[in-house]
């Protein structure tokens, strides 16, 4: 297996579990429009694209008002909920031999606040969130922006590591290697994700990176 040149990571459900905070913020917006609540599991299964893609479908013409409620709620409490996924800290330590970055569909300012809150700033040479690029995943724009920030070119020696089919779609569109972490059971499974590479857990991926280093 070819050694990567750099590592780009998805954030939610790849490196961190922040679903409780996202769900609470969604439910605050749903309350304002008398819509039924989602459970944390609902959010895990349904939150596939960024807010500017999903909210018009959920809230119609009122989506910007719903967005403001969501963001205000998230701003108040997201740091109370965010925590590393199992094996994430080990994975980032194993990846120290490479330039590492984040490409996420979480709004950029919240994403960067969470990175700092976890004490992980030193791991990442670039952090790209929703709204930072011209479009969000699965469009390739945020991955290409991250590469531009790093002075790097797209190619198979760039690994984009994520947990969903959307992540793998974004990787393919950007011309980089899509690496699935986990089995994507929450998103239709490995076959639907169609990754270039797949590791069963963050720990397994960390062990592989150490073997390459």
Same CATH fold, 19-81 and 6-17+83-212? no
DSSP single-letter state for residue 12: B
Model pLDDT for residues 173-207, shown as the tens digit of each residue:
999 999 999 999 888 899 999 999 999 999 999 99
Query: Does the global pTM surpass 0.95?
Result: no
Instruction: CATH number for 19-81: choose from 1.10.10, 1.10.150, 1.10.3470, 3.40.50.
Output: 1.10.150
Domain ranges for the chain = 6-17+83-212, 19-81
Give me the helix-helix angle, 51-59 and 63-81, nearest 10°. Answer: 120
Class of 6-17+83-212 per CATH? alpha beta
- Average pLDDT (3-22) is 93
- Average pLDDT (146-158) is 98
The whole-angstrom separation of Cα 193 and Cα 133 is 23
Model pLDDT for residues 87-98, shown as the tens digit of each residue:
999 999 999 999
Residues contacting 143, CB < 8 A, separation 6+: 8, 103, 128, 137, 154, 160, 170, 171, 174, 176
Q: Which residue has the higher pLDDT, 146 or 21?
A: 146
Neighbours of 183 (CB within 10 A): 15
């Amino acid at each position: 297996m070819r050694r990567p040149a750099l590592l780009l990571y998805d954030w939610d459900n790849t490196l961190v579990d922040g679903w409780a905070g996202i769900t609470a913020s969604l439910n605050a917006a749903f309350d304002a429009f008398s819509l039924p609540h989602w459970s944390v599991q609902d959010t895990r299964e349904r939150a596939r694209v960024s807010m500017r893609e999903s909210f018009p479908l959920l809230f119609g013409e009122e989506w910007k008002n719903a967005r403001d409620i969501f963001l205000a709620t998230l701003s108040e409490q997201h740091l109370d909920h965010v925590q590393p996924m199992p094996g994430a800290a080990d994975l980032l330590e194993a990846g120290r031999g490479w330039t590492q970055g984040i490409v996420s569909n979480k709004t950029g300012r919240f994403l960067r606040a969470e990175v700092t809150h976890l004490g992980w700033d030193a791991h990442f040479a670039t952090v790209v969130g929703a709204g930072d690029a011209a479009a969000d995943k699965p469009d390739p724009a945020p991955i290409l922006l991250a590469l531009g920030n790093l002075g790097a070119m797209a190619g198979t020696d760039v690994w984009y590591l994520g947990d969903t089919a959307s992540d793998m779609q974004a990787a393919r569109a950007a011309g980089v290697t899509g690496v699935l972490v986990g089995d994507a059971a929450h998103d239709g499974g490995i076959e639907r994700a169609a990754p270039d590479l797949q590791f069963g857990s963050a720990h397994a991926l960390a062990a592989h990176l150490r073997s390459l280093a």
